[in-house]
């Protein structure tokens, strides 16, 4: 081992090597016995992805798939899986830290063979990185391990600052002393040791620019907050880091995103996981995460929704989707009509289509006013929405979105002044419990 390797890396490498050895040793034993060679692991498909209402996260279902060496339809995938496992095993032995792009190139090659009719045929191990990435995800499921625990690295994206002291590798780092910068969450967050955590909650901010503003303003010091940014769609490391703080230190997690279907979805990735990585939701998702804003009711209040409910058939249609929607409480908007006029952005068709994916066509049909958009999303009629968005609070939010076809960025709140965002908006919402789960 290199002297540069930390003790935690050495232990992780050793565990990963043993896991791969023990798992694929079974294939060697089966081969020696003359048995059929096959791999068996859960299906990573949409049809086998379920939303666990009790756990409040996406999980893989019970269906499994068989990848057999002797099945002409599965032989290539079988060999791709073994090839990738071999490459990863060698990087571990050689004390390396590959990226998923490295692994793509290391395994990319052509094999030539002669067909039964005498023709020479060449076939690539894989042509595009999406193929090798899929094989890596298969190995994660097969071995029941995160790729990060195989010391496969990815680009750092998320950042964090706060009253935290951590050990990363051989170094102890005080995250309260990062100057105007922040700690870039490393791609192997499980190898971080939390030495001291002095915080009352975690605030995840979608926008990096808003994160920087709150950091410079000293928001995390004044409120004893671990301040995190996902810089858009969260990467795995950021999700795992947040999950660890929630799970190990029981810190409440609040998520601050744009008030649009994309911001809503980013929150749901933190909370329930993603379909692509549903097999790792138990380690990556944070079921207790709360969406504090920006919400459509922050912009318009709730009176506008009452007006929508009075329209013919709307209340009945929404009650069929989610019970108790007409019993939701009232609240006043944070923006005045003049501010709303200046800050609100008109939603585009793709925003409306994304909202349909979240909450279903029935809500869109009941609440959407725009004839232009309504005609163009007819093809979405079969969409029923994600179960975790079919709650009274979320249906109300999305109904207001469809009715107004309006969205708003977090920066619009800072348009009222950074002091308003940091000293009034966020603290008031958290203190009053004005969030959506």
SS (H, E, C) 296-357: HHHHHCCHHHHHHHCCCCHHHHHHHHCCCHHHCCCCCCCCCHHHHHHHCEECCHHHHHHHHH
Virtual torsion, Cα 296, 298, 300, 304, nearest 10 deg: 80
The phi-psi region of residue 360 (left if phi > 0; otherwise alpha if psi is between -120 and 50; otherwise beta) is: left
Neighbouring C-beta atoms of residue 350, cutoff 10 Å: 10
- Residue 401: other Cβ atoms inside 10 A: 29
Q: Which residues are catalytic?
A: 105
How far is Cα of residue 6 from the mean position of the Cα atoms in its chain? 29
Contact residues for 409 (Cβ-Cβ < 8 A; gap 6+):
207, 258, 259, 260, 294, 345
Tell me which residue of 88, 90, 92 sits closest to 133, measured CA to CA.
Answer: 88
- Cα–Cα distance for residue pair 228/226, rounded to 1 Å: 6
Per the CB < 8 A criterion, the answer to whether 53 and 14 are in contact is: no
DSSP H/E element including 376: helix 371-376
């Amino acid at each position: 081992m290199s002297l540069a390797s930390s003790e935690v890396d050495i232990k992780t490498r050793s565990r990963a090597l043993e896991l791969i050895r023990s798992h694929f040793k079974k294939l060697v034993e089966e081969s020696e016995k003359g048995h059929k060679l096959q791999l068996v692991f859960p299906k990573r498909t949409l049809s086998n992805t379920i939303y666990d209402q009790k756990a409040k996260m996406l999980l893989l279902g019970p269906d499994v798939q068989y990848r057999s060496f002797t099945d002409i339809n599965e032989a290539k995938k079988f060999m791709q899986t073994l090839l990738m496992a071999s490459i990863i095993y060698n990087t571990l032995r050689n004390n390396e830290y590959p990226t998923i792009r490295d692994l793509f190139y290391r395994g990319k090659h052509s094999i030539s063979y002669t067909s039964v009719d005498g023709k020479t045929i060449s076939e690539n191990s894989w042509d595009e990185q999406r193929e090798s990435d899929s094989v890596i995800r298969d190995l994660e499921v097969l071995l029941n391990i995160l790729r990060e625990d195989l010391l496969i690295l990815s680009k750092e994206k998320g950042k964090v600052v706060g009253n935290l002291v951590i050990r990363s590798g051989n170094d102890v780092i005080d995250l309260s002393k990062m100057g105007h910068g922040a700690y870039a969450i490393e791609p192997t967050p499980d190898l971080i040791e939390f030495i001291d955590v002095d915080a009352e909650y975690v605030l995840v901010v979608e926008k990096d620019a808003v994160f920087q503003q709150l950091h410079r303003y000293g928001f995390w010091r004044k409120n004893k907050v671990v301040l995190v940014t996902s810089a858009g769609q969260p990467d795995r490391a950021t999700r795992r880091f947040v999950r660890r703080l929630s799970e190990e230190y029981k810190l409440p997690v609040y998520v601050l995103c744009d008030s649009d279907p994309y911001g809503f979805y980013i929150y749901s990735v933190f909370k329930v996981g993603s379909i692509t990585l549903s097999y790792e939701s138990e380690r990556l998702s944070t079921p207790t995460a709360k969406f504090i804003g920006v919400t459509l009711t922050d912009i318009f209040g709730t009176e506008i929704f009452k007006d929508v409910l009075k329209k013919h058939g709307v209340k009945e249609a929404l009650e069929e989707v989610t019970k108790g929607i007409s019993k939701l409480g009232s609240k006043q908007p944070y923006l005045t009509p003049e501010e709303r006029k200046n800050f609100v952005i008109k939603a585009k068709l793709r925003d409306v289509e994304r909202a349909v994916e979240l909450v279903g066509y029935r809500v869109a049909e009941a609440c959407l006013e725009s004839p232009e958009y309504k005609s163009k999303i007819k093809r979405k009629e079969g969409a029923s929405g994600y179960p975790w968005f079919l709650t009274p609070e979320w249906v109300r939010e999305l109904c207001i979105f469809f009715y107004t076809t309006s969205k708003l960025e977090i920066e619009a709140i800072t348009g009222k002044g950074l002091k308003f965002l940091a000293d009034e908006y966020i603290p008031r919402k958290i203190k009053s419990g004005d969030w959506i789960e």
